[in-house]
């Protein structure tokens, strides 16, 4: 039987919504959770939960962002750059969130960040994370899978280059759910997100109370590349839309020579890749400005060990080790 990996307790968890101000499931779920937040003296002994409206200014205007995309502002370089009167609001806000939830990469950072997002793409419920070997995130994913349909997407960036809010925590992922138009709240999508967050919190409480989670394997989609729309070389305007046969087919294997785009004059453009890959974020509204028509991923199986929370004694021994390393 595989050896149980002992991991630190998840004492502090942050649930964030409104990182993009027009992705309304997270905005309304955070407002709902804030209503029921326990005062500190009644705090749950198993976990302390911080509920955060990430970009209040954009939420107020019901826009993705006011000056620059907040969810691209959490690289080490941006968080530690110079500040002036001309610093965009979202960069200032990313530094405030880093103080509140981080600092990123430090022992003081919250243990887990769950950041709530919507997509116009037909992706269902997905967890998006920067690691395919973070056993906490993968075990949470497997627990969710036993309760609701969900996929795991892995963005393969080194920690310093990880640019989104969930990268500030010791562990973190985005919950991405669609299809939902931006600026709209659909009850079914909201309810699925709410159930997802509830399952995450249930798992955290089980973990913190000493439950052993058995090892096993899960399927992970690792992002390989983005594909832009065909564009006019002079005006840079798009000249084609996603092909009707590909539209809404997120996570359905795209084979070489399959229809990819349909030009505005009616011509079919085909996928020229060498290998079949899984498309996702197909025709995401917010990605037109980023030059992304869709993303492509490889699917693989990841084995994970059994895990259990460290006992208080193991935790103290680790703290001492950490302290003595710092003294050296």
Distance CA 126, CA 112 (A): 17
pLDDT of residue 261: 98
Q: In percent, how much of the chain has pLDDT > 70?
A: 93
Does pLDDT of 206 surpass 50?
Answer: yes
The whole-number pLDDT of residue 317 equals: 62
> So what's the pLDDT on residue 320?
58
Three-state secondary-structure class, residue 104: coil
Q: Is the pLDDT of residue 121 over 80?
A: yes
> What pLDDT is stored for residue 316 in this prediction?
62
Q: pLDDT grade, residue 160 (50/70/90)?
A: confident
Residue 126 has a pLDDT of: 98
A 10 A CB-CB count for 228 gives: 13
Question: CATH for 224-295?
Answer: 2.20.25.160
Query: Which two three-digit tokens encode residue 220?
Result: 């992970």
User: Which tokens in the block code for residue 141?
Assistant: 């994913």
Of residues 176, 214, 275, 317, which has the active-site annotation?
176
Mean pLDDT of 199-213: 96
Q: pLDDT at residue 322 above 90?
A: no
- CATH 3.40.630.10 fits domain 5-215+305-312: yes
Alpha helices in the chain (DSSP H): 24-36, 56-61, 76-79, 89-101, 135-145, 187-208, 312-327
Mean pLDDT value of segment 309-319: 69
Mean pLDDT of the chain: 93
According to the annotation, is 117 in a ligand binding site? yes
- Is the predicted pLDDT of residue 325 greater than 50, yes or no? no
Beta-strand runs (E) in the chain: 5-7, 12-17, 48-53, 112-118, 124-129, 151-154, 171-178, 216-227, 240-242, 259-263, 268-270, 278-280, 294-304, 307-309
Q: Is 243 annotated as a binding residue?
A: no
The structure tokens 């990469």 sit at 105
* pLDDT level of residue 313 (50, 70, 90 thresholds): low
Q: Is 176 a catalytic residue?
A: yes
Residue 129 region by backbone torsions, left for phi larger than 0, else alpha for psi between -120 and 50, else beta? beta
pTM of full prediction above 0.85: yes
Q: Give the integer Cα–Cα distance in Å for 176 and 192.
A: 11
Contact 110, 13 (CB under 8 A): yes
State the pairing for strand pair 259-263/5-7.
unpaired
Residue count of the chain: 328
User: What pLDDT, in 10s, does the model give residues 216-263?
Assistant: 999 999 999 999 999 999 999 999 999 999 999 999 999 999 999 999
Contact partners, residue 43, CB within 8 Å, separation at least 6:
none
Task: State the pLDDT at residue 326.
Answer: 46
Question: Sign of torsion, CA 269 178 53 60?
Answer: positive
pLDDT digits (tens, 9 = 90+) for 24-71: 999 999 999 999 876 555 556 789 999 999 999 999 999 999 999 999
* 328: pLDDT strictly greater than 60: no
* Domain spans of the chain, in order of start: 5-215+305-312, 224-295
């Amino acid at each position: 039987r595989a050896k149980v990996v002992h991991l630190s307790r998840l004492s502090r968890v942050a649930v964030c919504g409104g990182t993009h101000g027009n992705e309304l499931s997270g905005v309304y779920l955070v407002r709902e959770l804030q209503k029921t937040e326990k005062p500190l003296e009644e705090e749950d002994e198993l976990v302390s939960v911080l509920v955060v409206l990430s970009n209040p200014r954009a939420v107020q205007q019901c826009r993705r962002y006011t000056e620059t995309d907040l969810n691209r502002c959490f690289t080490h370089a941006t968080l530690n750059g110079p500040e002036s009167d001309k610093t965009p609001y979202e960069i200032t806000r990313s530094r405030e969130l880093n103080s509140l939830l981080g600092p990123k990469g430090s022992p003081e950072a919250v243990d887990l960040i769950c950041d709530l997002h919507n997509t116009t793409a037909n992706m269902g419920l997905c967890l998006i994370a920067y690691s395919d070997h973070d056993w906490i995130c993968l075990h949470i994913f497997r627990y969710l899978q036993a309760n609701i349909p969900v996929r795991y997407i892995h963005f393969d960036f080194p920690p310093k280059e990880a640019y989104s809010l969930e990268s500030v925590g010791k562990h973190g992922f985005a919950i991405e759910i669609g299809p939902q138009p931006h600026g709209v709240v659909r009850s079914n999508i909201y309810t699925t997100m709410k159930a997802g967050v509830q399952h995450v919190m249930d798992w955290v409480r089980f973990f913190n109370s000493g439950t052993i989670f058995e090892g096993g394997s899960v399927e992970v989609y690792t992002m390989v590349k983005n594909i832009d729309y065909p564009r006019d070389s002079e005006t840079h305007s798009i000249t084609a839309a996603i092909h009707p046969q590909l539209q809404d087919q997120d996570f359905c294997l795209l084979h070489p020579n399959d229809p990819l785009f349909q030009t505005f004059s009616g011509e079919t453009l085909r996928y020229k890749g060498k290998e079949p890959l899984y498309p996702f974020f197909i025709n995401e509204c917010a990605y037109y400005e980023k030059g992304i028509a869709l993303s492509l991923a490889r699917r693989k199986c990841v084995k994970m060990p059994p895990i259990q929370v460290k006992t208080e004694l193991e935790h103290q021994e680790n703290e001492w080790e950490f302290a003595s390393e710092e003294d050296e």
